[in-house]
Amino acid sequence: MPRKPTDRNSPPKTKFGTPRTNSKDPRKESTPFRVSRPPRKGKMEKPVVEAPPEDDMRLNKYVAHCGIASRRAAAEIIKQGHISVNGIVISEIGHHVLPTDTVTFKGKPIKPVEEMIYILLNKPKAVITTMSDEKDRKTVMDIVGQTIKARIYPVGRLDRDTTGLLLLTNDGDLAQKLSHPSHKVKKFYHVVLDKPFHKDDLEKVKTGLLLEDGIAEVDSIEYVSGGSKEEVMVEIHVGKNRIVRRIFEKLNYNVQRLDRVYYGGLTKKDLPRGFYRKLSEQEVIMLKHFIGQK
């Protein structure tokens, strides 16, 4: 029996049926992606849609992947005119960079790093959380830079007199997401005050104090178990400048010591003050789990 002629312009039929087309414009198919075959045996699974590979990248993301700074800081570097693409200064963070482009930072070529480095530092007091300091004060890079030669930078900040856990990395995507309050990365601070912390004030902090830049929200605040009434533990996920100190200053307390003892599942166990170590593979996976990154 002769085969029925087909229209060459009509979409071909497959074992999964004929692809849907836009009723207004039949030339447009619903998806150009490849759909995987369903399993032959067992429970039927949903088809997996595979997106095409990324062949370009936003400039701020590209700079962050080069280990220059976090994506947020990279945006400022771009706006200041420090980045050139193919010899032309680009100040738009949304500019798309192709694999064949030549990108420079202050005249020096940069490329995305191949090895991601994750360092956990137990920051001592009187150390600045910056790459360098114009007043020649000691920075965290003076500590880790003795053995870590790759370009890494701190995720977030601890003020000069605050001690405790600080993450340094060249993973711009991870740094950006860990710092964003929407991911609610838990941080615990051990606070020692100059006088007993009144229970009424503790309730005020739980409710939320009004500071000059808005309501200071804390996830929890409790007296330290086995400690005195001068010691409290604060759980917080927002990253506003000096937020913990300003909460207690608002209630007329002076913070004698402030120590970050927990950060996104990481603790200070076996990490003395002033020392640092590389994160294990499982710890990196845990951090990425917190922010939903694979």
Which residues are known to be catalytic? Answer: 159
State the CB neighbour count (10 A cutoff) for residue 202: 16
List the one residue out of 245, 261, 231, 275 whose CA is nearest residue 163.
261
Place of tokens 């949304």: 94
Helix or strand run (H / E) with residue 123: strand 118-123
SS3 286: helix
Per the CB < 8 A criterion, the answer to whether 240 and 213 are in contact is: yes
Cα distance between residue 195 and residue 247, in whole Å = 15
The alpha carbon of 287 is separated from its chain's Cα centroid by a whole number of angstroms, namely: 9
For the chain, helix (H) and strand (E) counts, in that order, are 7, 19
Per the CB < 8 A criterion, the answer to whether 191 and 242 are in contact is: no
285 Cβ contact partners less than 8 Å away, ≥ 6 residues apart: none
Cα distance between residue 286 and residue 267, in whole Å = 13
**Can you give the three-state secondary structure of 143-203, one letter per residue?**
HHCCCCCCCCEECCCCCCCCEEEEEEECCHHHHHHHHCHHHCCCEEEEEEECCCCCHHHHH
